[in-house]
């Protein structure tokens, strides 16, 4: 019998929730809750990319910020490489942030316009006292080259870079401390399509070289399909389907996933696809419907869908779905 201890995943999220309280109105003192993230669980393997997709407002970015502890979770557990970081104080989180970094959506507003590019990339090294000034400068020059920038651009200010170059600066800054997990909050959505491909390929190359794990938040399914190993689909704060890239695109099971994929533009004009028209609008996270949160818009809903919330059940080793009608 082997005595080897299994290596924990890079990230393990268990029953994570983030609810916001809304103040009462003049006519009522009763407080309402916004169920931004509600009972979400998943694991992120080492060197793996998990894509997180869904409509705007479904809770993707809030989930990322909660995992980063930029906002405090309401309940649940966040484990980083086996260590529970859910209840750590701000001071205790400082050391863990070396292993957990983020790439923001806007490559301009996330960079300090008054700092030179070299200072921006080197700030994490300074904050954590990584090496001497000469060693830090050498590390910064290496990071610039590694993300496709010239070392002599270290003296430039953010406004002197293009959008794609600014995002490369953001990637270099996230990479500076050698993290094990990087959360990308729609890191390419603000870029031109050709630049998106360059940045995505850079992130994949970095993953191959350094075994980084990505939680890749996006709404563009073609981008997610290109970079992800597995994909999680969110709807109104909950994960409704989780599968490998191939499984999700070839055999989507949840009606919401099927509707999302049916809405993806077809590249060839002669190709045809059955369109799925959903009724109604996305429900409010302030007062989400009981049972399955998608049942009011689902073309296949039955009585139990409005009464019981379906758990995220495994269909196979590579596929899990939260739907009463999928067995």
Secondary structure letter of residue 154 according to DSSP: G
Give the Cα separation of 47 and 211 in Å (integer): 4
Of 160 and 27, the one with more pLDDT: 160
Q: Where are the domains of the chain?
A: 11-99+179-317
User: How would you label 201-232 residue by residue, b for 16+ Cβ within 10 Å and e otherwise?
Assistant: ebbeebbeeeebbbbbbbbbbebbbbbbbbbb
Q: Is the dihedral of CA 59, 60, 63, 64 positive or negative?
A: negative
pLDDT of residue 96: 94
Q: What is the pLDDT of residues 184-208, one digit of tens each?
A: 999 998 888 889 999 999 999 999 9
With a cut of 60, say whether residue 26 has pLDDT above it. no
For residue 5, pLDDT beyond 70: no
Residue with the bigger pLDDT between 201 and 283: it is 201
At residue 268, the pLDDT reads 59
Task: Flag the least confident range among 153-157, 270-274, 283-287.
Answer: 270-274
Task: Check residue 272 and give its pLDDT.
Answer: 64
What confidence score (pLDDT) does residue 75 get? 97
Calpha distance 40→17 (Å, rounded): 7
Pair of tokens at residue 3: 């005595």
pLDDT of residue 223: 92
> In which element (H, E) is residue 223 found?
helix 221-227
Highest mean pLDDT among 2-16, 244-258, 280-294: 244-258
Q: What is the pLDDT of residue 220?
A: 87
Long-range CB pairs of 252-256 (<8 Å, 24+ gap) are 253/315, 253/319, 253/321, 253/323, 253/326, 254/294, 254/321, 254/322, 254/323, 254/326, 255/294, 255/298, 255/299, 255/300, 255/323, 256/294, 256/297, 256/298
Across 58-81, average pLDDT:
96
Given a cut of 90, whether residue 167 has pLDDT beyond it is yes
Check pLDDT > 90 for residue 24: no
Residue with tokens 């049942």: 295
131-140, 172-181, 260-269: range with lowest mean pLDDT: 260-269
User: In the predicted model, what is the mean pLDDT of residues 146-172?
Assistant: 96
Residue 1 is predicted with a pLDDT of 47
Is the pLDDT score of 30 beyond 70? no
pLDDT single digits (tens) 208-229: 999 999 999 998 898 999 999 9
**What CATH number should be reported for the domain whose range is 11-99+179-317?**
3.40.50.300
Mean predicted confidence (pLDDT) in 149-168: 95
**Confidence check: pLDDT of 132 > 80:** yes
- Asked whether residue 287 carries a pLDDT value surpassing 90, the answer given is no
- pLDDT tens digits, residue range 225-240? 999 999 999 999 999 9
The CA distances from residue 304 to 7, 66, 309, in Å, are 40, 32, 9
Q: Which residues contact 289 (CB under 8 A, 6 or more apart)?
A: 283, 295, 296, 306
């Amino acid at each position: 019998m082997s005595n080897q201890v299994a290596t924990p995943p890079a990230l393990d999220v268990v029953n994570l929730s983030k609810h916001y309280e809304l103040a009462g109105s003049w006519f009522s003192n009763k407080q309402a809750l916004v169920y931004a993230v509600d009972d979400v669980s998943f694991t992120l393997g080492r060197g793996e990319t998990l894509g997180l997709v869904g409509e705007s407002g479904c809770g993707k970015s809030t989930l990322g910020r909660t995992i980063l502890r930029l906002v405090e979770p309401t309940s649940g557990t966040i484990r980083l490489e086996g260590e529970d970081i859910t209840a750590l104080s701000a001071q205790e989180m400082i050391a863990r942030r070396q292993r957990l970094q983020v790439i923001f959506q806007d490559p301009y507003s996330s960079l300090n316009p008054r700092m030179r590019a070299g200072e921006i990339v080197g700030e994490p090294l300074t904050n954590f006292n990584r090496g001497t000034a000469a060693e830090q400068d050498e590390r910064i020059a290496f990071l610039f080259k590694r993300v496709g920038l010239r070392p002599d651009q270290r003296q430039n200010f953010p406004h002197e870079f293009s959008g794609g170059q600014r995002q490369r600066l953001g990637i270099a800054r996230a990479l500076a401390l050698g993290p094990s997990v990087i959360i990308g909050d729609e890191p390419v959505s603000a870029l031109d399509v050709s630049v998106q491909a360059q940045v995505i390929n850079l992130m994949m190359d970095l993953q191959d070289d350094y075994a980084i794990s990505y939680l890749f938040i996006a709404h563009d399914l073609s981008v997610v399909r290109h970079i992800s190993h597995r994909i999680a689909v969110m709807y109104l704060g909950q994960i409704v389907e989780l599968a490998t890239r191939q499984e999700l695109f070839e055999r989507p099971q949840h009606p919401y996933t099927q509707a999302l994929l049916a809405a993806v533009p077809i590249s060839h004009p002669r190709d045809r696809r059955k369109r799925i028209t959903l009724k109604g609008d996305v429900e409010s996270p302030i007062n989400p419907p009981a049972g399955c949160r998608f049942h009011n818009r689902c073309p296949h809903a039955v009585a139990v869908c409005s009464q019981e919330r379906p758990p995220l059940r495994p269909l196979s080793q590579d596929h899990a779905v939260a739907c009463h009608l999928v067995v």
